[in-house]
Amino acid sequence: MNKKILPWILPGIIIFIWALITMVFNLVPSLFFPSPIEVIISGYELIISGKLLSATFYTLINVLCGLFIGALVAIPLGIILGWSKTLEEMSKLIIGVLRPIPPIAWIPFSILWFGIGMAPAIFIIFLGCVFPILIYTLDGVKRTDKVLVEVGETLGANNLQIITKIIFPSAIPTIISGLKVGIGIALMCTVSAEMIGSGNGLGHLILTSTTLFDTGATIVGMLTIGLIGIIFDFVFTRIQSKIFW
């Protein structure tokens, strides 16, 4: 069977069963779960009104800003901690304590510190993606072939040259994997943040649609988030394949 067809088989089956349950046998009222046709109609209305584009753009800005700041902090810090055993040991406790705390738990503080709007959402996204990127970067640095480092030292390279010319390039595949994990968490975080502290975005769209019992629009918002995640995953995978294969 063609490999390009395989990924579409299971979604097709799910949509078919979904249509049977909601449209043919009417087992579930549309108030609780809309039919595929209702979702399509809601999506069309949201696109025509411009609400879906505006919400998607707002969410993308939040995600990209939070991810950029998270990477800006996590990648250099991961390289430093991976390079220095002493600094890694010193930071283990604080990272171990902060990393399991759900970013959503910081929402009250983010609103108190930054008010309402994009800033608290970006802060929550930053908290969500900084630790996965940090851990993946640190792991990538520690996986660097020691022989390459020893060769660099033998040839007279200083610490900065070893880090920039040997360790960082070696850790790039792992760093990209960390970014892929981070983007998924970032999307989850931004939706939660937008539901509470924002007047726009896909999270706000989902919340308001659910409040108004517009379940079709709710599903459209959820599917849009999933589509964004697939696009980002595809982009990062293509980057990996172009650079390393």
Residue whose token pair is 């993946």: 136
Q: Are residues 105 and 10 in the same domain?
A: no
Binning pLDDT at 50, 70 and 90, where does residue 5 land?
confident
Q: Are residues 129 and 201 in the same domain?
A: yes
Within 8 A by CB and 6+ apart from 215, the residues are 30, 31, 32, 33, 34, 38, 209
Tell me, yes or no, whether 164 lies in a domain. yes
Record the tokens describing residue 169, joined without a space: 């390039």
Separation of alpha carbons 30 and 21, rounded Å: 11
Structurally, the chain folds into a number of domains equal to 2
Q: Are residues 74 and 184 in the same domain?
A: yes
Contact 125, 193 (CB under 8 A): yes
Tell me, yes or no, whether 44 lies in a domain. no
Q: Are residues 151 and 239 in the same domain?
A: yes
Q: Are residues 80 and 5 in the same domain?
A: no
Residue whose token pair is 């299971």: 10
**Is the confidence at residue 104, as pLDDT, over 60?**
yes
Distances (CA, A) of 19 to 35, 43, 45: 6, 17, 20
Residue 18 lies in domain: 1-25+32-38
Tell me, yes or no, whether 116 lies in a domain. yes
pLDDT score of 245: 57
**Angle formed at CA 10 by CA 8 and CA 16, multiple of 5 degrees:** 100
Give pLDDT tens digits for 34-62.
999 999 999 999 999 999 999 999 999 99
Tell me, yes or no, whether 154 lies in a domain. yes
Residue whose token pair is 């033998």: 154
CATH of the domain at 82: 1.10.3720.10
Tell me, yes or no, whether 45 lies in a domain. no
pLDDT score of 221: 94
Binning pLDDT at 50, 70 and 90, where does residue 158 land?
confident
Q: Are residues 128 and 11 in the same domain?
A: no
Q: Are residues 9 and 95 in the same domain?
A: no
Residue predicted with more confidence, 179 or 241: 179
Give pLDDT tens digits for 175-196.
998 999 999 888 888 888 887 7
Q: Are residues 92 and 194 in the same domain?
A: yes
Binning pLDDT at 50, 70 and 90, where does residue 244 land?
low
Tell me, yes or no, whether 43 lies in a domain. no
Q: Are residues 7 and 73 in the same domain?
A: no
- Rounded average pLDDT over 72-94: 92
